[in-house]
A and B are shown apart, each in its own frame.
Chain A
Amino acid sequence: MDVILNINNLTYLNIFENLSIYLEKNKIITISGPNNCGKTTLFKILCKKIKGNFNIILNSKGIYEFSDKEYDDNIQVVYQDEKIISNNTVKELIDIQQERYDKEKVDFLVKGLKLKKVLNKKIYELSDKENFMFRIAFSILNSKCLVLIDDIDQYLYQYEVAELYSFFRECTNKYNLTFILTCIELDSAIYSDELYIINDKKITLKGDPLYVLSKDNILNKIGLEVPFIIDLSVKLRDYELIDKIPLDQGELINKLWK
């Protein structure tokens, strides 16, 4: 297993107690949990906004051993409400740093994140959603290793989140990136490689998303909603009406009414 990030026994205030996470390279990981379980705090620790005596290893090196510049090159975070404030247009902001950026990568991101129509807009004219997509593009442009996105579903429809997951999948292969996403709605988590659920200071569930999502009792108890089709399938499996949990509605209907 090629581990990129290793969080060992993280303890912080009353939020985490001996929390450990090992993340593999070039994967998409979703972290979820009830309100105020520490999802954003974890990101703040990972990007060193919150400092402490934490044992966190990025690419075989302790995170405090990196210089700030070197660390920024490796890890980029998109927070919920943070906004890029600038009088420049999107295009101007990209052009300013064009020597740093690979043109092919810029074009790929502009296309994949549907930013073409906002290229000539001033940054302050962008809607919340456009600003969010722009910040995602910038993070991918600036990171060589890890991209963290907080509240992935905040401005997007469910189908748009699903499209983003698929786009991130392309980025993992093309640019050797690893993505860690947080969300409260679990509908799109099924598209990730691994799903972690944080509750009560620790990891309550982790693993293949379908395995985690099938633990409906635990998820409901801690305050998370299981996506409808998985919830229905798990319950139908308990009644022995189906044997396997299908991922889509059509498949479930065809299994029930062969």
Chain B
Amino acid sequence: MEIVFKDYQYGDSTINFTISLNQINGILTNAPTEIEDIIKSNINCKGQLIINEKSATKKEYAFYKKNIIVIKDKLTYSSETLYEYIEKVMKIHKIYPKDKDKKIKDSLKIVGVNIRTLKNSIHNLSSSEKKLVSIAIGLIINPNILIIENATKFLDLKNKKKVIMLFRKLVEQYNKTIVLISENSDELYQYTKHIIIFKKHKIIIDGDTDYVFKKVSFLKEHNINIPKIIDFTYRVKKEKKAKLEYHKDIRDIIKDIYKHV
């Protein structure tokens, strides 16, 4: 299942790309707002939206637009308390649960933010708390498609793992579609199944993540950041003609080196 963005006009460019539904997708770019505008089908981006091989009807298009949110890089600077901020976002999205407090606290607990921070003003939260809170707000809004900018930036290893586990759970158990937008190719290589590489208003490549990142020469030609683990293997293969395979886990590459050195 997929959504195809066909002949989308953006500036002077016409672009085509696909988002796989019920999967973790990645978009490698340093211009997140541009690609977000296209995915959200904002007013200045027009094109044909194809859902499951059929052109979207007006009703489907409206449903799609209603069920997509973008979680920006960080919460905006604000002096209101976290509770007031979340309340405001819920009003904007017309979310009125039976037990608002419980909904807010449960979402924070899922991402591992202490509920005591609800009384703190936003600008007193740490970078990691702001990042986790923005994901918690995504959970409260509960759309079908979550576009998340730099999902693991500011997070330590434990929080990164927790957040990625959460995304996988959202995909596997709740049929959500996740789109991670980042300029970090290492992260997208590790965590996504499908990747789109977007640069200077153009789609450079769009496809299965493992397949895309193995096209190292092509990516280098376009000055795309190569995941470090791929780049290492590529250089070994090219410079030393050793028959290493591309891996995701450092332990697998060590086994391979042991065999070929």
Q: Which residues of A contact B (CB under 8 A)?
A: 34-36, 40, 80-81, 83, 151, 154, 157, 184, 220, 223-225, 228-229, 231-232, 235-236, 239, 241, 249-250, 252-253, 256-257
Please state if A35 and B254 are interface contacts (CB–CB under 8 Å).
no
Q: In angstroms, how far is the closest chain A Cβ from the Cβ of B113?
A: 10
The answer to whether the Cβ of B142 comes within 8 Å of any Cβ in the partner chain is no
Contacts of A220 in B (CB 8 A): 157
The answer to whether the Cβ of B228 comes within 8 Å of any Cβ in the partner chain is yes
A229 to B235, CA, bound (A): 13
Please state if A228 and B250 are interface contacts (CB–CB under 8 Å).
yes
What are the interface flags for B201-245 relative to A under an 8 Å C-beta threshold, 1 for contact and 0 otherwise?
000000000000000000000000000110110011001101000
Within 8 Å by CB of A236, from B156, B231, B257, lies B257
Contacts of A154 in B (CB 8 A): 127, 153-154
What are the interface flags for B151-163 relative to A under an 8 Å C-beta threshold, 1 for contact and 0 otherwise?
0011111110000
Please state if B156 and A40 are interface contacts (CB–CB under 8 Å).
no
Please state if A241 and B127 are interface contacts (CB–CB under 8 Å).
no
Please state if A184 and B155 are interface contacts (CB–CB under 8 Å).
yes
Which residues of chain B in 129-159 are interfacial with respect to chain A, using CB atoms and an 8 Å cutoff? 129, 153-159
Please state if A235 and B236 are interface contacts (CB–CB under 8 Å).
no
A81 to B121, CA, bound (A): 13
A236 to B126, CA, bound (A): 36
What are the interface flags for B65-80 relative to A under an 8 Å C-beta threshold, 1 for contact and 0 otherwise?
0000000001001000
Counting residue pairs across A and B whose Cβ atoms lie within 8 Å, the total is: 80
What is the chain A residue whose CB lies nearest that of B123?
A: A81
Q: Which residues of B contact A (CB under 8 A)?
A: 74, 77, 123, 126-129, 153-159, 183, 186, 228-229, 231-232, 235-236, 239-240, 242, 250-251, 253-254, 257-258, 261
Q: In angstroms, how far is the closest chain B Cβ from the Cβ of A242?
A: 10
Please state if B77 and A228 are interface contacts (CB–CB under 8 Å).
no
What is the chain A residue whose CB lies nearest that of B150?
A: A154
Please state if A35 and B159 are interface contacts (CB–CB under 8 Å).
yes
- Report 27 cross-chain contacts, Cβ distance below 8 Å, ordered by A residue: A34-B156, A35-B154, A36-B128, A40-B126, A81-B127, A154-B127, A184-B128, A184-B156, A220-B157, A223-B158, A228-B186, A228-B229, A228-B250, A232-B250, A232-B253, A235-B251, A235-B254, A239-B258, A241-B261, A249-B228, A249-B235, A252-B232, A253-B236, A253-B239, A256-B236, A256-B261, A257-B242
Q: In angstroms, how far is the closest chain A Cβ from the Cβ of B164?
A: 13
Q: In angstroms, how far is the closest chain A Cβ from the Cβ of B53?
A: 38
Secondary structure type dominating chain A contacts: loop
Within 8 Å by CB of B228, from A151, A223, A229, lies A229
Q: In angstroms, how far is the closest chain B Cβ from the Cβ of A142?
A: 23
Within 8 Å by CB of B250, from A40, A231, A252, lies A231
A83 to B156, CA, bound (A): 25
A252 to B250, CA, bound (A): 15
Beyond the given A235-B254, A239-B254, please list 4 additional residue pairs across the A-B interface where CB-CB is below 8 A: A36-B128, A223-B156, A232-B254, A253-B240
Within 8 Å by CB of A257, from B186, B228, B240, B254, lies B240
Among all A-B residue pairs, the 3 with the closest Cβ atoms: A35-B128, A223-B156, A228-B228
Contacts of B228 in A (CB 8 A): 228-229, 249
Q: In angstroms, how far is the closest chain B Cβ from the Cβ of A47?
A: 16
A249 to B253, CA, bound (A): 14
What is the chain B residue whose CB lies nearest that of A231?
A: B250
What is the chain B residue whose CB lies nearest that of A238?
A: B254
Contacts of A232 in B (CB 8 A): 232, 250, 253-254
Q: In angstroms, how far is the closest chain A Cβ from the Cβ of B78?
A: 10
Within 8 Å by CB of A157, from B74, B77, B183, B186, lies B183
Please state if B240 and A81 are interface contacts (CB–CB under 8 Å).
no
Contacts of A225 in B (CB 8 A): 157
Contacts of B186 in A (CB 8 A): 228
Please state if A35 and B250 are interface contacts (CB–CB under 8 Å).
no
Contacts of A83 in B (CB 8 A): 77
A235 to B250, CA, bound (A): 9
Please state if B156 and A224 are interface contacts (CB–CB under 8 Å).
yes
What is the chain B residue whose CB lies nearest that of A252?
A: B232
Q: In angstroms, how far is the closest chain A Cβ from the Cβ of B108?
A: 14
- Contacts A184-B154, A224-B156 given; does A236 touch B128 at CB 8 Å: no
Please state if A229 and B232 are interface contacts (CB–CB under 8 Å).
yes
What is the chain B residue whose CB lies nearest that of A150?
A: B127
A220 to B123, CA, bound (A): 29
What is the chain A residue whose CB lies nearest that of B255?
A: A239
A94 to B253, CA, bound (A): 52
- Contacts A154-B127, A184-B155 given; does A241 touch B258 at CB 8 Å: yes
